[in-house]
Amino acid sequence: MTSVNTPEAGDLDAMLAAVDQLPFIVAVFEGDELRLAGWNAATRAVIPGREAIGRPIEEVLSDLVGQQFVDAYHEVYRTGVPIAGRQWRAHLDQPDGSVHEMFATFTIVPWRDPDGSVRGVIGAAFDVTELARTRQAAETEAAQLRRRYEQSRDVITELQRELLPAGLPVLPGLQMAASYLLADADTAAGGDWFDAVPRADGRVALLVGDVVGHGITASGAMGQLRAVLQERLDSGASVGEALAAADRFAGRIRTAHATTVCLALLDPATGELTYCTAGHPPPLVISAAGQSRYLPPTGGSPLATGGAFPVRHDRLAPGDLLLLYSDGIVERPLAGPASDADLARVATDATIGRALHEPGATAAERVCAQAIELLVRAGGHADDITLLAAQRVEVVPELVLELPADPAALRGARAELGKWLTAVGAAEHDAFVLQHALGELTTNAIEHACGGTPDHDPITVRAELTAAGRVEATVTDRGGWRAPARQPVRGRGLALTAQLVESLRVEPGETGTVATVRHPLNRPARLLASFDEAPPAPPARTEMSLAELPGDDEARVRVDGPVDAVSAVQVRQELLRRSRGGTVPMTVDLTGVTLLASAGVAALFQVAGHHDEKAPLTLIAAPDSPARRILDLVGLPVSR
């Protein structure tokens, strides 16, 4: 008999102690349920506070379910084939309720018995978060170098940006999002497109299309087809009629031949859905409970191939999410044959919030961002990828505010309007415009129509989101026009409002004045080149603050928060005091100003009037900041 040397108990303990000291993550799982058999200190440090030995992997790593790691362990156990990943992003729940983001480079291998059968799996990983952050920083710093290569593709990419919709309409009872990922090839942009067209009857047409090929010719054909479909759908054409018009056009344009389209007409109020898959993959429906189903294909033919465009009908329940997509998302060159099940699983995890953590994002936004990231990082992509998601949600009621004729009420009204705009889905830019415009109109009503007397009849502010995706808001007072009390700061409210919104109408009457604004709401779509996400913006200040900064022979001041009818007086007084009545050069940083009302504009004009070339006033505001937008409108010079 051949003898086998086995370690003594003391040697085994020493070996286990040595494994526990390894400076990288090691975890061993055993059996069909992959129960945790052992892990080292480095692993426990990454996921602290867990009683885990002997428990299945779904319990040990419950926060990684939906992030592909747990699936990889099961795949290795099932096939016996190792799996490796490089710099995968993961979100881990911490004992204090926070979420830790890390990047890991890992290898998962089978744990085999002496007879060769798979007993379990062993995972080893390195925390490469610092390396990933360094890489991201290096890529940012090297942007200028990368552009040398990208210049050859800029024309096509910019053409694609111009031809795709800049955003999606914000509609009652519907949350929408879209993402477009450029092809991972030298040809750059191609012929994929998406669109959402609201109709007068309250329904919305949703479509994703794919022109064969890449480059300028494909992008040009895409733009023309999108224009044809948009015009027909906007004029009330049915799904079949709109596709027939596109088919006739494609028959005359060689590069548009064999274009595939999925077109769906949805009523957000009832959930009624009519759709056609013209040679295109069928839509995916995901319920609020996390159940998914592909709608049956309608049998339609690609454009200009001589086929018909039959339609099917379905109904979305409240909370259901409809996902339209191009076939680039399921064609994964690095992951073997395409699988519709992969898309359904990942999209479902993102919809119900089981994948990556994105606080504040809607389900539609999560699906469009995370489905691309989670599928492409493992499977790669060679074609453009387009996703368009729409989820039925509750309709946000009309906003009605009764305000006393007191400037102090403006700040609370602005906060309530902000909450309402967030609830309906307004993007940051539109929320800024409407809060500013309605703030000016309300200030105007208080000062002119009511004379600033709190005992006067209240002012009514109403706002609703129409089926066309426009906010219609009114500010109504019940007094006659009065000259305002003399104040050191006077604004330019109506002029500013007219420049900010789509339309403004002021109707004075015997019993009061009604000011009406209309403004469309759009949420920006995302044209992606990578998965790097910008850090979340810091919360906006709710109170104005003014701080003096270090300076040599001049006064340097930073202003943060809202500069409205109430705080503008303080800003004027403080700036004049710190510049000694305009005799000392002054630089004022307005980058942190969240609202610059007309009263604030007047205050800055007055301060500027006290300065001259010997003691200049310099204003600083970052591009696209709230203050910069207003300063550019009123013509106050800003240092660049």
Locate all alpha helices (DSSP H) within 277-408, ordered by sequence. Answer: 340-351, 363-379
CATH number at residue 83: 3.30.450.20
Pair 386, 247 in one domain: yes
Structure tokens at 393: 């949600």
Cα angle, residue 324 at apex, residues 520 and 392 outer, rounded to 5° = 55
Predicted pLDDT at 4: 42
**109-125 burial by CB neighbour count: b if 16+ within 10 A, else e?**
ebeeeeeeeebbbbbbb
Pair 194, 80 in one domain: no
Rounded Cα gap, residues 588 and 582, in angstroms: 13
For residues 457 and 450, the answer to whether their CB atoms sit within 8 Å is: yes
Task: Please identify, among 524, 556, 579, the residue that sits at the C-terminal boundary of a domain.
Answer: 524
Beta bridge partners, 163, equal none
Predicted pLDDT at 529: 54
Q: Is residue 531 part of a domain?
A: no
Nearest Cα to Cα of residue 82 among 122, 37, 26 = 122
Rounded Cα gap, residues 24 and 41, in angstroms: 9
| Residue 117 domain boundaries | 10-133
Q: Is residue 592 part of a domain?
A: yes
Compute φ and ψ for 120, nearest 5 degrees. -175, -155
Predicted pLDDT at 577: 86
Residues in the chain: 640
Rounded Cα gap, residues 43 and 40, in angstroms: 5
CATH number at residue 461: 3.30.565.10
- Count the helix, strand and coil residues of the chain and give each as a percent rounded to the nearest 5: 35, 30, 35
Pair 347, 217 in one domain: yes
**485-523 burial by CB neighbour count: b if 16+ within 10 A, else e?**
eeeebbbbbbebbeebbeebeeeeeeebbbbbbebbbbb
Mean pLDDT, each 10-residue run in order, the chain (640 residues): 48 71 92 93 90 92 92 95 93 92 94 93 93 83 62 56 80 94 59 91 94 77 92 95 96 91 97 97 95 96 94 97 90 61 93 88 93 78 83 96 86 91 92 90 78 68 94 86 47 76 87 90 77 45 80 82 85 88 89 86 88 89 85 81
Rounded Cα gap, residues 480 and 501, in angstroms: 25
Q: Is residue 639 part of a domain?
A: no
The residue assigned the tokens 């102690």 is 17
Helix or strand run (H / E) with residue 544: none
Pair 221, 165 in one domain: yes
Rounded Cα gap, residues 380 and 375, in angstroms: 8
For residues 92 and 47, the answer to whether their CB atoms sit within 8 Å is: yes
Task: Please identify, among 368, 392, 416, the residue that sits at the C-terminal boundary of a domain.
Answer: 392
Pair 174, 120 in one domain: no
Half-sphere exposure of 291 (CA within 13 A, CB side): 4
Pair 506, 552 in one domain: no
Cα angle, residue 399 at apex, residues 393 and 403 outer, rounded to 5° = 160
Q: Is residue 147 part of a domain?
A: no
**Sequence-ordered list of residues with C-beta below 8 angstroms from that of 552, at least 6 positions apart, any chain:** none
Pair 407, 336 in one domain: no
Pair 290, 383 in one domain: yes
What's the N-to-C CA distance of the chain in angstroms?
87
Helix or strand run (H / E) with residue 261: strand 260-266
pTM to 2 decimal places:
0.69
Rounded Cα gap, residues 397 and 385, in angstroms: 36
CATH number at residue 332: 3.60.40.10
Burial of 68 (0-12, 13-18, 19+ CB in 10 A): buried
Pair 257, 333 in one domain: yes
Nearest Cα to Cα of residue 35 among 14, 18, 59 = 59
Rounded Cα gap, residues 137 and 301, in angstroms: 47
Locate all alpha helices (DSSP H) within 33-167, ordered by sequence. Answer: 41-46, 57-60, 69-79, 129-141, 143-163
Predicted pLDDT at 184: 57
Q: Is residue 240 part of a domain?
A: yes
For residues 275 and 222, the answer to whether their CB atoms sit within 8 Å is: no
Q: Is residue 640 part of a domain?
A: no
SS (H, E, C) 422-436: HHHCCCHHHHHHHHH
Structure tokens at 614: 């010997």
Pair 53, 164 in one domain: no
Rounded Cα gap, residues 141 and 145, in angstroms: 9
Pair 405, 448 in one domain: yes
Q: What is the DSSP pairing of strand 459-465 with strand 399-403?
A: antiparallel
CATH number at residue 582: 3.30.750.24
Q: Is residue 284 part of a domain?
A: yes
Beta bridge partners, 195, equal 207
Torsion of CA 25, 30, 33, 36, to 10 degrees: -40
How many domains are contained in the chain? 4
Task: Please identify, among 524, 549, 564, the residue that sits at the C-terminal boundary of a domain.
Answer: 524
Predicted pLDDT at 11: 62
Rounded Cα gap, residues 528 and 168, in angstroms: 16
Pair 510, 625 in one domain: no
